[in-house]
Chain A
Amino acid sequence: MLDWLKHINKEYPDFWKDYLAKFAKKSNRYVILSTEATGDSLEKDVITYISAFAVVNDTILIKDSFETILLQYRFLHDNHLSNEYIIESRLLKLSEPEALKTFIEYLGNGILVGHQIESSVAMINATLERLECGKLRNEALDIDIMHRKLNEITDDKELSLDELTDYYKIKQTPADSATEKAYKIALLFLKLKFKLGLK
C-alpha cells in the first residue's frame, strides 16, 4: 500500500547515488564546462550540447574530456525543426537521459568552471529534475567573476567570452563550437588561476 509513497520520497537512479557517494572526498580536478541550449527558459528550452575538459595540476588533459550532442527529438518535433544536420555529424550522439547520465559520471566530484556558469548549472539542474535526480552538488567557479576579482572591477557589466579572450590575448579558434569554447575557458582559467594564486 505504501509503495507509491516510497517512490515520491525520491528513490534516485543508481548513477545519481554513485555521484553523491563521490563527494566523500575532496577533488583536485577541475571540470571546465561549456553547454549550448536552445534558449534561456528553464521550462521550455533544452540542452543540445555539452562539452568539457578536465584540468589537473595546472594542465589541460585533452584525453579527459567530454563531448556530446543531445538528441532532443521531442523538442525538435514540438517546434517543427529538422534534425538532419545533427544526425549527419560524426560526434557522439546520445539521448537526453543517457547524455546526462554519462556527464554526471564524468563530472564526479570535480569543481565546475565555466563562463556564466550559473545559467549552465541551472539548465542542467532543470534537466536532472526531469530525470528524478537532485541538484548538482559541485562547487562552481565563474571565470568572469575571477576576472573581476583579479582586476577589482566593481560595475555589473558582464564580459562576453570573446572579450575575455581578447583581454588575455588568447588566440581565436577557427570555429565557435561548445568544445572550442570550453578549451578557451580552460586556457583562461589556467591564466586566472595562476594570477590569483589559487592552489
Chain B
Amino acid sequence: MNIIAGQIADFLKNYAPFNQLTSEQLAEIANNIRVINLEKKQTLFKINDALHDSFYVVASGVINISVIADAEESIINKCHQGTIFGLRPFFAKNKYKTTAKAREESLVYAIPIAVFKPLLANNSEVLNFLLENFASNLPEDRSTQGNIASDGFYTEKQSEVQFFQTLAYNTTPLLATSDNTAQEVAQLMAESLKNNVIIFEKNGPIGIVTHADLASKIATGRYPVSIPVSNIMSSPVVTVLENVSLAEAQLLMLKNNVTHLCVTVDGTDKSVIKGVISEHDLIAAQASNPGVLIKEVKRSLSSNELKEIRARLTNLIQSSIQKNIPLTHITNIASEINFAILKRAVELSILDLGSPPARFAWLSIGSQGRKEQLLLTDQDSILVFEDVAQDKYIEVKDYFLKLGKKTTATLEKIGYELCPNGHMGSNMMWCKSLTDWLKQYNNWMNATRENSDNLSSIFFDCELVIGELKIENAINNIISENAYNNNLFFDFLGNDALRKNSPLSFFKKFIVEEEGIHKDKFDIKTRALMPLIDGARLFTLSHEIKGINNTYTRFKQLAIADPKHSEIYLNCAEAYLFLTRIRTLEGLKNENSGQYINLEELSKNDREKLKNALYPMKELEELIKDKFQLTQFS
C-alpha cells in the first residue's frame, strides 16, 4: 500500500463511521480517495449542481454548508476535520440542496460512492449511521453520534411522524356520472365551493374533474360546455385506501403527478367511494405551522376543534422555546393565534344566536389584551355595544349578555379558565353600551378615590378581538384624555403596583408561599411579573405613549421616551423576558398557568438568574416612588 494511502487510512480510523470498518476495508477506501484542495471561499458544490460521484470528508480546514432561504444565504453547518458531508448522492438522485464552500484553506478527501457502497451492504451499522445523519439536521444529534454534516435540510424531524400520521380529508366528495355535462359539473362545483368532482359508475370511480381540467379543456374553447363530462375528466383516478398516511399520499401525488386522490373502501377503483384527498389536506396535516393553524381556526366549527388547535399551539410554543427562538417572536405568533381563536369563539356564538342587533366590540383585557399570553391562563374581556334607543336597550343588552355567556362558555371548553373576578363580557357589569363605558372610565380615572373598589388595572390594557374599531378607539381616547396630568389616578396605579409583595426577603432569599397547596413554591406571577407589568403600564400612561400594550415593547419605548432612566427600563425589559420564559417553561411542564414555580426543580444557574432578574424591579419601584406621590392612597 502506498505510504500516503496508509496515512489517510490512519486519519479516517479516528472518525465515525470509518472506525467500524476493518483495516482492509479502510485500505481499500484510502486507496481510492481523491484529494481536493480548496482555497478560501472556493466552492465545492452548490445548490442545484448535479450530484458528484463521491461524498466528502474534511481532512483539514473548515467547510461551510449553507442553504439559500428567502434570498439569504444561511449557514446550516460548519464541518471541521473528520466531518462527513455531501452524502446526498447516496440516498437521492436529484441535485444538491446545499452549498459547500471552504471557509479557509481546506483539504477534503473525496470518497467515491462506487467504492463505499459495497461496504455498506455488509455493514448495517455504517449504513444506519449515514442514513440517520442524512435525515436529521439537529446539531445536538451529531455530538452524540460522531461527526457528520447532514445535507438533508428539507427532511425535517417530523418526517418520521408522517409515516403514521393519518389525514383528515373530505368525506363527502361531489359526485357526478359520466353522462352529466361539463356545465352541470361546473355548476355543482361552483355551488359547493369545491374544486373537484369525482365521476363514478355503479362499481366505483372512473375519473375526476378538477378546476385544472375545466380551465384547460373548457375555458380554452377546445370543448363546448354541453359536452358529456367523460370527455374532459382525468382518468383513471388514483385511488387509495381509507387510512392512507400523509407520507404515502404525498408520494402517490408526486408519482402520478396529480392533485387529488380518491379514497375507496378497498383502495381499488372498483369499490365504494369514501372521500377525496386534496393537496390542501396534505398541507393542513403538516401543520404545526402558525399560518396553517390560523387558517384552521378560521374554518373550525366547534369548541372541540378549537380546543385541539389550542393544544397544537401549546406544542408549537413548547418546541419553539426549546429551539431557542426569541421569546418576543413566539409571543407575537402565539398571540395572533390566540386572537384568532377568541375571534372564532365570538363568531361561533354569533352563528348560533343570529346577527347582533347593534354594532359592538369585544375587547380582550389583561394578559390577552397585552398580547403576551403564552399559556392557557384565565380569560378577561369586556363587551361594548353602540348606543341604541332607550326602548331597544333592554333587548340589545340581553342579546349581548347571551353572546358573552356563550362565548365565555366556549372559551372555557377550549381551556381558558373563567376569570375568578368576573372580568368577562358575560358579566352584567362589563357588558355595557359605549356611553356607559365612557362614564365608567371617567369615574375610575377622575374620581378614583370613590370608585377604587371595582377598579382593576387590567382594564387599561385592552385590545380589539372582533367588532367595531371605532369603539376601541373611543375607549383608548378617553383613557389617554383622562390620563393627561391626572396625578391622583397615577398615584392610585403606583400604589397598586407597589402593593404586590416583594419577592426577596431581607436576606436575599426567595419568599415562598407559606401555606396552601402551593406551599414552598415561588409565586412568580404576583411577586415578579405583575410589578413589572404594572410599572410598565403606569409609565406608558404617564408618558402618553399610545398604542403599545405589550410589556416588553412598553419598556423598550420608555427607554427611548425617558432616556434619563433608559438603563432601568432596558433591564426591566430583559428581566421581564426571562421571567416569562421561566413561567412558560414551568406552565408547559405542569400544564397549568405556571404561576407557582417550584424552586427546587430549577437548576442552580437558573435560580441565580431568576434572582438577578428580580433586581431591576427594585430599581423600578424606586423610580415609581420618586416620581409619584404615593401617600394619598396608602
A residues at B contact (CB < 8 Å): 53, 58-63, 65, 67, 169, 171, 173-175, 177, 179-180, 183, 186-187, 190-191, 194-195
Task: Give which listed residue, A175, A187, A194, contacts B42 with CB less than 8 A.
Answer: A194
What are 14 inter-chain pairs, A to B, with CB distance below 8 A? A60-B36, A62-B4, A62-B8, A62-B30, A62-B31, A63-B31, A65-B2, A67-B3, A174-B7, A179-B4, A180-B4, A186-B35, A194-B39, A194-B42
Chain B 12-32 interface 0/1 with A at a Cβ cutoff of 8 Å (1 = within) = 000000000000000000111
Residue of B nearest to A173 (CB): B7
* Size category, B interface: 20 to 34
Determine if B32 and A62 form an interchain contact, defined as CB atoms under 8 angstroms apart.
yes
Residues of A contacting B31 with CB < 8 Å? 62-63
Q: A59-B110, A67-B2, A179-B4 are in contact. Are A191 and B34 (CB under 8 A)?
A: no
20 more A-B residue pairs beyond the given contacts A62-B8, A191-B39, with a C-beta to C-beta distance below 8 A: A58-B37, A60-B35, A61-B34, A62-B5, A62-B35, A63-B31, A65-B2, A65-B4, A171-B60, A174-B7, A177-B3, A179-B2, A186-B35, A187-B37, A187-B107, A190-B37, A191-B105, A194-B37, A194-B39, A195-B39
Residue of A nearest to B1 (CB): A90
Q: Is B33 an interface residue (CB 8 A)?
A: yes
The number of A-B residue pairs with CB atoms under 8 Å apart is 53
Residues of B contacting A60 with CB < 8 Å? 34-36
Residues of B contacting A61 with CB < 8 Å? 34
- Report the bound CA distance from A174 to B33 in whole Å: 20
Within 8 A of A (CB), among B34-83: 34-37, 39, 42, 60
Determine if B4 and A183 form an interchain contact, defined as CB atoms under 8 angstroms apart.
yes
Task: Give which listed residue, B33, B105, B107, contacts A62 with CB less than 8 A.
Answer: B33
Residues of A contacting B60 with CB < 8 Å? 171
* Distance (whole angstroms) from the CB of A163 to the closest CB of chain B: 18
Residues of A contacting B7 with CB < 8 Å? 173-174
Residues of A contacting B30 with CB < 8 Å? 62
Looking at A63, A169, A173, A180, the one whose CB has the most chain B CB atoms below 10 A away is A63
Residue of B nearest to A189 (CB): B37
Residue of A nearest to B108 (CB): A59
Residues of B contacting A169 with CB < 8 Å? 105
* Distance (whole angstroms) from the CB of B102 to the closest CB of chain A: 11
Determine if A59 and B36 form an interchain contact, defined as CB atoms under 8 angstroms apart.
yes
What 7 pairs across the A-B complex have the smallest Cβ distances?
A: A60-B35, A190-B37, A59-B34, A183-B4, A179-B3, A62-B33, A59-B36
Residues of B contacting A65 with CB < 8 Å? 2, 4-5
B residues at A contact (CB < 8 Å): 2-5, 7-8, 30-37, 39, 42, 60, 105, 107, 110
Residues of A contacting B32 with CB < 8 Å? 62-63
* Distance (whole angstroms) from the CB of B408 to the closest CB of chain A: 71
- Report the bound CA distance from A19 to B97 in whole Å: 45
- Report the bound CA distance from A191 to B2 in whole Å: 23
- Report the bound CA distance from A165 to B39 in whole Å: 15
- Report the bound CA distance from A63 to B33 in whole Å: 7
- Report the bound CA distance from A53 to B2 in whole Å: 10
- Report the bound CA distance from A137 to B31 in whole Å: 29
Residues of A contacting B107 with CB < 8 Å? 187
Residues of A contacting B37 with CB < 8 Å? 58, 187, 190-191, 194
Residue of B nearest to A178 (CB): B3
- Report the bound CA distance from A68 to B363 in whole Å: 88
Determine if B3 and A62 form an interchain contact, defined as CB atoms under 8 angstroms apart.
no
* Distance (whole angstroms) from the CB of A51 to the closest CB of chain B: 9
Residues of A contacting B35 with CB < 8 Å? 59-60, 62, 186-187
Residues of A contacting B110 with CB < 8 Å? 59
Q: A171-B60, A180-B3 are in contact. Are A62 and B39 (CB under 8 A)?
A: no
- Report the bound CA distance from A174 to B11 in whole Å: 13
* Distance (whole angstroms) from the CB of B61 to the closest CB of chain A: 10
Residue of A nearest to B10 (CB): A174
- Report the bound CA distance from A173 to B34 in whole Å: 18
- Report the bound CA distance from A90 to B42 in whole Å: 39
Residues of A contacting B2 with CB < 8 Å? 62, 65, 67, 179
- Report the bound CA distance from A194 to B44 in whole Å: 13
* Distance (whole angstroms) from the CB of B463 to the closest CB of chain A: 60
Residues of A contacting B39 with CB < 8 Å? 191, 194-195
* Distance (whole angstroms) from the CB of B291 to the closest CB of chain A: 46
Residues of B contacting A59 with CB < 8 Å? 34-36, 110
Looking at A58, A173, A177, A180, the one whose CB has the most chain B CB atoms below 10 A away is A58
Determine if B36 and A58 form an interchain contact, defined as CB atoms under 8 angstroms apart.
yes
* Distance (whole angstroms) from the CB of B488 to the closest CB of chain A: 75
- Report the bound CA distance from A33 to B20 in whole Å: 35
* Distance (whole angstroms) from the CB of B414 to the closest CB of chain A: 62
Looking at B7, B30, B34, B36, the one whose CB has the most chain A CB atoms below 10 A away is B34
* Distance (whole angstroms) from the CB of B103 to the closest CB of chain A: 15
* Distance (whole angstroms) from the CB of B621 to the closest CB of chain A: 59
Residues of A contacting B33 with CB < 8 Å? 62
* Distance (whole angstroms) from the CB of A151 to the closest CB of chain B: 16
Residue of B nearest to A182 (CB): B4
- Report the bound CA distance from A180 to B60 in whole Å: 17
Residues of B contacting A186 with CB < 8 Å? 35
Residue of A nearest to B59 (CB): A171
Residues of B contacting A183 with CB < 8 Å? 4
* Distance (whole angstroms) from the CB of A69 to the closest CB of chain B: 12
Residue of A nearest to B60 (CB): A171
Residue of B nearest to A169 (CB): B105
Determine if A62 and B34 form an interchain contact, defined as CB atoms under 8 angstroms apart.
yes
- Report the bound CA distance from A63 to B42 in whole Å: 25
- Report the bound CA distance from A62 to B30 in whole Å: 8
Looking at B31, B37, B42, the one whose CB has the most chain A CB atoms below 10 A away is B37
Residue of A nearest to B112 (CB): A63
Residue of B nearest to A64 (CB): B34
Residues of A contacting B8 with CB < 8 Å? 62
* Distance (whole angstroms) from the CB of A50 to the closest CB of chain B: 13
Residue of A nearest to B33 (CB): A62
Residues of B contacting A58 with CB < 8 Å? 36-37
- Report the bound CA distance from A190 to B8 in whole Å: 18
* Distance (whole angstroms) from the CB of B18 to the closest CB of chain A: 15
* Distance (whole angstroms) from the CB of A186 to the closest CB of chain B: 8
Residue of B nearest to A179 (CB): B3
- Report the bound CA distance from A169 to B107 in whole Å: 12
* Distance (whole angstroms) from the CB of B42 to the closest CB of chain A: 7
- Report the bound CA distance from A179 to B7 in whole Å: 12
* Distance (whole angstroms) from the CB of B207 to the closest CB of chain A: 52
Residue of A nearest to B8 (CB): A62
Looking at A60, A61, A62, A169, the one whose CB has the most chain B CB atoms below 10 A away is A62
Residues of A contacting B4 with CB < 8 Å? 53, 62, 65, 179-180, 183
Residues of B contacting A171 with CB < 8 Å? 60
* Distance (whole angstroms) from the CB of B139 to the closest CB of chain A: 28
Residue of A nearest to B105 (CB): A169
Residues of B contacting A174 with CB < 8 Å? 7
Residue of B nearest to A67 (CB): B2
Residues of B contacting A180 with CB < 8 Å? 3-4
* Distance (whole angstroms) from the CB of A27 to the closest CB of chain B: 18
- Report the bound CA distance from A177 to B3 in whole Å: 9
Residues of A contacting B34 with CB < 8 Å? 59-62
Residues of A contacting B105 with CB < 8 Å? 169, 191
